[in-house]
Amino acid sequence: MDMVPNPSVRHDFHAASPDEVRAALIPEERAEFDRSGGEDLDDWRRIAWLTVSSGHHDYREMWRRAAAAYAGKEVPMAEPFVVTKARLGC
């Protein structure tokens, strides 16, 4: 189920634990977080904040729009997230 942003709730991740960060990520990025072994936790905290602030759907859409702009062509909505990120070299 996608998280829906709630503007009345303050999402503060600058002191979040690795478990809190992982829980906020979209499922497609949790495996990447796990592989990182918690390295660059501050970067992951920013990703968690952006994910929760945007909501899962809009977070994925942000990546899709960026990939489309980079490629100069539309990116299919059904494209797997990892493929979309790979278009951007991520």
Q: Give 41-48 contacts, CB < 8 A, sequence gap 24+.
A: 42/14, 44/18, 45/13, 45/14, 45/16, 45/21, 46/13, 47/21, 48/13, 48/16, 48/20, 48/21, 48/24
| Separation between Cα atoms, residue 83 and residue 72, nearest integer Å | 16
The pTM score is: 0.81
One digit per residue, pLDDT tens: the chain, 90 residues? Answer: 455 545 444 577 888 999 999 999 999 999 999 999 979 999 999 999 999 999 999 999 999 999 999 999 999 999 999 999 999 998
